[in-house]
Amino acid sequence: MKILALIPARMGSSRFPGKPMAKILGKPMIGHVYERVAKSSSLDMVAVATCDQEIFDYIESIGGKAVMTADTHERASDRCAEALVTLEQDQNARFDIVVMVQGDEPMTHPDMITAAVQPMLDDSSIQVVNLLGEIKDAAEFEDRNCIKVVCDIHGNALYFSREPIPTRSKADHVPMGKQVCIIPFRRDYLIEYTRLDPTPLEIAESVDMMRVLEHGMKVYMMPTRHESYAVDTPEDLRKVELLMK
């Protein structure tokens, strides 16, 4: 299996413009993500997929690999699919699994990538995996930037939402899980994903994985023991910086 990690990143975040280049402990956040992902022994190659020259130039300056993409993509998955095709052409190679690691996950641990890929190595029917984190408190449960997920008894996602799910009324008695954006796709399924029409709930929730569910496919959720918090706002950046210290 040839495994590629792609890190989508763009400067035009509506909630936090310039987010990938915001500094954590003196280093741009995208640099932390790239270096942590590159430590994974499961990967054959790592690249950043971006539509911004500033990000491209920074990654190249630290000895990394970056790929320029169109600036019209609404979903990170679509950006990664374009970068995949470009890299395969440039490298004269074909990858089997593409691991999408969001550029706002600076607490990524290399072992998280190994864990996310493992279900695909064990079961050829699994087309896409997400890591499943544990929501620790009520504030995170209520935070719209935290993507909540509920699963069936086999570990497959039933629904993703920015709203508190499954329910507030029994929060002490039901597991509260969140999507951690380390997402392996089988290569051909990632290409197929981009050819599927965007779906109503994908648009309403602004969650890529809803396109998969609404088209009748499964998303396998792999629990992770590693603590991770995405950076969506300047407040998140300060919280993550304290944790990373």
Interval 22-76: pLDDT, tens: 999 999 999 999 999 999 999 999 999 999 999 999 999 999 999 999 999 888 9
- What confidence tier does 138 reach under pLDDT thresholds 50, 70, 90? confident
Calculate helix-pair angle for 187-195, 76-91, nearest 10 degrees.
130
pLDDT for 9 beyond 90: yes
Residue 188: both structure tokens together = 């051909």
Q: What percent of the chain has pLDDT over 90?
A: 86
Radius of gyration of the chain measured on its C-alpha atoms: 17
Using an 8 Å Cβ cutoff, are 188 and 88 in contact?
Answer: no
Domains of the chain: 3-244 (3.90.550.10)
CB 164 within 8 A of CB 142: yes
170-185 pLDDT, tens digit per residue, is 656 677 899 999 999 9
The predicted structure's pLDDT at residue 172: 64
* Per-residue model confidence (pLDDT) at position 168: 75
Mean pLDDT value across the chain: 94
pLDDT at residue 32, as a whole number: 96
Cβ-contact 111, 227 below 8 angstroms: no
Average of per-residue pLDDT across 179-201: 95
pLDDT computed for residue 170 by the predictor: 63
Rounded to 10 degrees, what is the CA torsion of 202, 187, 98, 12? -40
Residues 236 and 229 sit within 8 Å (Cβ to Cβ): yes
pLDDT at 215: 96
CA distance 102 to 93: 23
